[in-house]
Structure 1
């Protein structure tokens, strides 16, 4: 199969596949196992986000993607080299060619694959990862895909019956499993006091506060369950934050209401999560229209 950069006819962002083989059959990715789809000497065609690298960070419209090599059961055990798929992604950065992104989405014990769209590699750099080994890390940002031309004829979303998913009839429900240890940890950092209003709610069983994810765990946000994605809030500020009434600037000041976020020395918030919330969740208040 020759190199194919860019969109695949008939496949739009959000298209789902039950198996990795269906992703390959659709022409989105040429390999069943490797994360980076490429041919020697050419920019990368596509990547699959599967959560297999500890230094990955998926913020939806912005992705920090760890290159291939030196990984064993999710942990980096050796340095990565600028070759193979890593070199292909570096060429994507140098030449600013689009990369197709396919995301592995987990739903409890089950998972499926979803086409996320076209991304541009906006940075390519070697750095030391969490395990102390050199990794190649690439920053990708979502592109706006052009709309399909209006031909007056209904377009079929599935390009071929060979990879069309069967109708889903599974009656099981699924939910995101939250790490309660992290949720308790962020509350204890602030002695169960809200980081916005300092409210500490006493109850017969102890003080009460809520752990709020800056970027939600479930669809459509797919945020990480990590301390740098958590805030300690009172119930009022939790619900208004989740619904976009206010947001946090990178310097800790609030947007949408006065004040500043209290921040404990041991609590480092990832600014990418704050940026995601401001861009995708926060809704600035509009003055009511007077008649």
Structure 2
């Protein structure tokens, strides 16, 4: 069941995971992700994943798997499967995810053992990161106006012993402002022609292309909104590039899931910053560089 659960508005407090399960907020007692490869309906922020982070209305959330349940360390790469694949699917469909958080995650006090339902969030980004030299999935979720509390404000209120803040009523707090002139400049430079497949789409209003940021804007990537960090792409290549199917190597060769696809067309006056392409390639690689490592001990629960 996706979306809100009647009778349990954002700010509802639960004594434990069982109570949240019985209410239908997070329908699993142990796992941090409740969902399948077709879609994830909810996540739970709990102790243990140091990469999980809250900044105002944004949550950076680590996927499941590859973790030794005894030591807490990663012993294998995570995979796009089950709930991880479900979060990617939610990102593609723009489907909201319920977020439940252990109070200790919000306050930093281990003794705070209850759980707070924060409301509905959208997955705005996903990429690959690294933990203990193994690949992990990182998802960015953003609070939905009218349907959620702002996690950062909840944390402050709990630490100060105040009442929980009201439902979020404003537009996106952490939306990175984009300069439309910068986006227009890269599209003009290439005459709305894709730098990868060389397609120029034509509509009744003229030709069409999209400006794609190489190093993504916003948390946790913090890419700049400058020409050196932009490509002019058709919608298909843009979707594949943002979805980590396409990467570009240091020689300007474009690969689709590791197979050569094309040479990136770059005009001399377009001074691309190769470090941004390197960064994009790094967050798009799903396998760690460790060779001969033993990856037999894995945990499928967070």
Q: TM-score under structure 2 normalisation? A: 0.47
Structure that is richer in strand per residue: 2
Structure that is richer in helix per residue: 2
